[in-house]
């Protein structure tokens, strides 16, 4: 199948059919910000931070969910896009209780890193009072909904990689939050295998291992993509036998 030629910022890119704009951009060293996308799990385009401008289209499109096309002209870093990402990040900070100074993920938080890169040092929105309490019922892990950005990485890793289907999203709007086994406390979720994949893919301090203090959370976010790649290689070997 012939390749696809496109332009991303100042780069001429040769991509494979079916690749996303984000995958093609990463390969040529163009960093497109995002929180929900992760190698090894399906694409949902939930965070909208990876929006890019494509010549000839009326509005920005999510780089993670937009397939490459012949002669596509993509711009990833315009003034409009920078302002869009800045407002989105401010809203994410305002929707939760993201106090970095007392967070287990301080220094290892993707939301914190993106804010520094974009220049968000305060939120112009008033955070709502926290109405959801932490779930500390699991013997090893905890979940703090006030630090959750609803990227659903944990949901997808649990379902697609571990095959447990423990996590889901309940509620709508400001009431949306993660639930285990359709509403049980995490520690009572019979489907949970305690594998920790959900904790390893969390971009913030929403999911953490008990016993970690401020700034001590260190996760292996490449775990899921490594497992997925190994399984794909093993499947390919079986087919060739």
Instruction: Report pLDDT for 215.
Output: 64
Q: Which position has the higher pLDDT, 127 or 140?
A: 140
> Can you give the pLDDT at residue 172?
85
Mean pLDDT computed over 182-189: 96
Q: Is it the case that residue 60 has pLDDT exceeding 90? A: yes
Is the pLDDT reported for residue 45 higher than 70?
yes
Which of the four pLDDT bands, split at 50, 70 and 90, describes residue 1?
A: low
Identify whether residues 41 and 91 lie together within a single domain.
no
Q: Based on the fold, state whether residues 207 and 127 are members of the same structural domain.
A: yes
- From 53, 77, 101, the end of a domain falls on 77
Give yes or no: residues 51 and 141 share one domain: no
Instruction: Establish if 235 belongs to a structural domain.
Output: no
Q: Which domain holds residue 183?
A: 83-229
Mean pLDDT of 106-120: 92
Query: Which of the pair, 238 or 176, is modelled with greater confidence?
Result: 176
% of the chain residues with pLDDT over 70: 92
Beta bridge partners of 240: none
Question: Cα separation of 97 and 85, whole Å?
Answer: 19
- Quote the pTM value: 0.88
Asked if the model's pLDDT at residue 134 lies above 70, the reply is: yes
Strands 51-54 and 4-8 turn out to be: unpaired
* Cα–Cα distance for residue pair 42/232, rounded to 1 Å: 14
Residue that finishes a domain, picked among 42, 77, 112: 77
pLDDT of residue 229: 78
Interatomic CA distance for residues 227 and 16, integer angstroms: 23
| Co-location of 55 and 108 in the same domain | no
Judge whether residue 21 has pLDDT over 80: yes
In the predicted structure, residue 241 carries a pLDDT above the cut 70: no
3-class SS letters over the chain: CCCEEEEECCEEEEECCCCEHHHHHHHCCCCCCCCCCCCCCCCCCCCCCCEEEECCCCCCEEHHHCECCCCCEEECCCHHHHHHHHHHHHHHHHHCCCCHHHCCCCCCCHHHHHHHHHCCCCCCCCCCCCCCCCECCCCCEEECHHHCCCCCHHHHHHHHHHCCCCEEEECCHHHCEEEECCCECHHHCCCCCCCCHHHHHCCCCCEEECCCCCCCCCCCCCHHHHHHHHHHHHHHHHHHC
pLDDT at 164: 97
pLDDT value for 233 = 75
Identify the CATH number of the domain in which residue 72 sits: 3.10.20.740
Q: How many domains does the chain have?
A: 2
pLDDT above 90: residue 225: no
Rounded to 5 degrees, what are φ and ψ at 227?
-65, -45
At 138, is the pLDDT very low, low, confident or very high (cuts 50, 70, 90)? very high
pLDDT at 63: 97
In this prediction, residue 95 carries a pLDDT of 84
8 A C-beta contact, residue 217 and residue 209 = yes
In this prediction, residue 195 has a pLDDT band, given cuts at 50, 70 and 90, of very high
Joined together, the tokens standing for residue 148 give 């959750």
Residues 89 and 182 in one domain: yes
Question: 89 and 125: one domain?
Answer: yes
Decide if 149 contacts 35 (C-beta within 8 A). Answer: yes
Last residue of a domain, one of 77, 98, 132: 77
Q: Is residue 224 part of a domain?
A: yes
Query: Could you tell me which residues come within 8 angstroms of residue 2 by beta carbon, excluding any fewer than 6 positions away?
Result: 17
Q: How many Å apart are CA 167 and CA 186, to the nearest integer?
A: 9
Contact of 36 with 83, CB cutoff 8 Å: no
Q: Average pLDDT, stretch 103-124?
A: 89
- 114 and 220 in a single domain? The answer is yes
pLDDT of 175 over the 90 cut: no
Task: Let me know: does 213 contact 104? Beta carbons within 8 Å.
Answer: yes
48 and 112 share one domain: no
Q: Which two tokens stand for residue 151?
A: 């990227």
The confidence score (pLDDT) of residue 230 equals 77
């Amino acid at each position: 199948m012939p390749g696809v030629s496109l332009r991303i910022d100042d780069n001429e890119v040769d991509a494979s059919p079916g690749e996303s704009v984000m995958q093609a951009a990463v390969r040529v060293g163009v960093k497109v910000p995002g929180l929900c996308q992760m190698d090894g799990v399906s694409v949902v385009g939930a965070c909208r931070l990876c929006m890019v401008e494509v010549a000839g289209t009326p509005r920005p499109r999510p780089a993670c969910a937009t397939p490459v096309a012949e002669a596509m002209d993509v711009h990833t870093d315009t003034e409009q896009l920078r302002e869009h990402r800045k407002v989105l990040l401010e809203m994410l900070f305002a929707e939760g209780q993201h106090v970095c100074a007392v967070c287990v993920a301080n220094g290892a938080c993707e939301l914190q890193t993106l804010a520094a890169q974009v220049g968000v040092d305060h939120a112009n929105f008033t955070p709502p009072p926290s109405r959801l309490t932490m779930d500390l019922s699991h013997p090893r892990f905890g979940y703090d909904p006030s630090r959750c950005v609803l990227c659903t990485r944990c949901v997808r890793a649990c379902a697609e990689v571990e095959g447990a289907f423990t996590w889901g999203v309940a509620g709508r709007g400001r009431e949306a939050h993660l639930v285990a086994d359709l509403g049980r406390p995490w520690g009572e979720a019979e489907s949970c295998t305690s594998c920790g994949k959900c904790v390893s893919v969390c971009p913030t301090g929403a999911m953490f291992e008990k016993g970690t203090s401020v700034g001590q959370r260190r996760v292996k976010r490449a775990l899921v993509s490594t497992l997925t790649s190994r399984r794909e290689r093993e499947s390919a070997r079986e087919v060739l036998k």
